[in-house]
Amino acid sequence: MMQDLREKYEAVRLQTCRLCRDLSPEDTVLQAEEFTSPAKWHLAHSTWFFETFVLKSEVPGYREFNPDFHFLYNSYYETLGKRVQRNRRALSRPPLDEVYAYRQFVDAAMETLFNAGNLSDALTQTITLGLQHEQQHQELLVTDVKYNLAQNPLLPAWNPLEKDLAPVTTAGSWLPVSEGVYEIGYAGDDFCFDNELGVHKQYIRNISLAAAPVTNREYLEFIAAGGYQQFGFWLAEAWDWVQRTGAEAPLYWQQQDGVWHTYGFNGLEKVDPDLPVIHLSYYEADAFARWKGLRLPTEFEHETAAKLYPDAFRDNVWEWTQSAYLPYPGFQIAAGAVGEYNGKFMLSQMVLRGGSIATPAGHARPTYRNFFHPHLQWQFSGLRLAKDDSNH
């Protein structure tokens, strides 16, 4: 058990550095918007987690690598004191080499802890949470760096991933879910986040979910039909967003000589009609579904279908649901700083399900609840349609 945890620790920590191997030091300090963070910050913050929640509490006499890092790399933990404002994480100092030295310092201390053996169940759970936390930041690092690099007029190529978006081959097919009462939430023995706990029952009517996410080809039809100019497809807040931002296509899309292109890991390329549409806000996903005369699934419908048809829900794009991010029955925020991990964000956000090409392998599951504010587009977020059926 402990050997498995040690190997997982080493693999996860190495992968974060691998994602950054083709970035210059200048690339790692970019922060184009408040909702993104610099790659250097992700490298340090994920390390700060282990120093703060494991080493400082478990290793007698542990001396921090640099006491100032607690202020620099705390993210949102009010319990742990003051921190750098989120929109001010683009720091030239400490330099990147020092951040990597910080990672090595903490990794060496963790190695000593593993060698000592006899980790308590509580400590094992905290280390496991730290690894899952770092995997979340690996995904954020990819999406943040892509957004930050996209602000460069040269639109540089940068591809840290070993897989690409898979073309959709089952467009037009549907997956029926029969009326019934289904269990929702995580009931296994492996790791899950606290917001997945509280197995409960949900009634679901006869419905069908699309066998695949919506493609660029389908979304191009929405654009060509004037979808962004017709308020009737948009929720009021969404239409305000369209008017305020001038949105006319997914994030990173631009027209050249009448042809839509998008910025991706290979730079600027023509939009591939067979790939899933990505970088949509909830507003856009909902408007497209309304334009089709259909709707987004609830997160409960999505989870149920994903359990019934696992092969149709491979990690390709995150899929917006029409469910607000709220606690499950019986949810309680844990005591202490770790309790700030999920519970305090259960307001004004929408749930996404599935996983994306940027999600680390094995990190997501059918019960995994991702969540973002409805206007955000920078994640690999798309949609899967749902429809109500009178019968199957």
Residue 333's pLDDT band (cuts 50, 70, 90): confident
Dist CA 227 CA 45 (whole Å): 41
Query: In three state form, how does the secondary structure of 35-64 look?
Result: CCCCHHHHHHHHHHHHHHHHHHHHCCCCCC
Domain boundary among 102, 118, 150: 150
pLDDT digits (tens, 9 = 90+) for 91-116: 999 999 999 999 999 999 999 999 99
Range of the domain at 316: 174-388
Kindly provide the b/e burial profile for residues 184-203, where b requires at least 16 CB atoms within 10 angstroms of the residue's own CB: bbbeeeeebbbbbbeeeebe
pLDDT digits (tens, 9 = 90+) for 165-194: 999 988 789 999 999 999 999 999 999 999
Q: How far are the Cα atoms of 94, 233, 274, 317, 385 from residue 173, in angstroms, in the given order? A: 53, 24, 15, 18, 11
Dist CA 279 CA 143 (whole Å): 10
Does one domain contain both 76 and 200?
no
Running DSSP on this structure, what letter comes out for residue 262? E
Dist CA 106 CA 12 (whole Å): 14
Domain boundary among 150, 183, 218: 150
| Domain assignment present for 163 | no
Domain boundary among 134, 150, 166: 150
67 pairs with which residues across the strands? none
| Domain assignment present for 360 | yes
pLDDT at 314 over 90: no
| Domain assignment present for 156 | no
Does one domain contain both 187 and 62?
no
Dist CA 275 CA 107 (whole Å): 39
Does one domain contain both 137 and 264?
no
What is the number of structural domains in the chain?
2
Does one domain contain both 220 and 295?
yes
Does one domain contain both 187 and 140?
no
- Taking residues 24-33, what's their average pLDDT? 98
| Domain assignment present for 158 | no
| Domain assignment present for 200 | yes
Q: Are strands 370-372 and 350-353 parallel, antiparallel or unpaired?
A: antiparallel
Q: Which of 269, 219, 253 is nearest to 385 (CA)?
A: 219
318 pairs with which residues across the strands? 381
CATH number, domain of 258, equals 3.90.1580.10
- Taking residues 214-237, what's their average pLDDT? 98
Q: What is the pTM of this model?
A: 0.96
Six-digit token string for 19: 């994602």
Does one domain contain both 146 and 183?
no
Does one domain contain both 307 and 223?
yes
Does one domain contain both 124 and 232?
no
Does one domain contain both 116 and 188?
no
Helix (H, G, I), strand (E, B) or coil at 387: strand
pLDDT digits (tens, 9 = 90+) for 149-168: 999 999 999 999 988 999 99
| Domain assignment present for 169 | no
Average pLDDT, the chain: 95
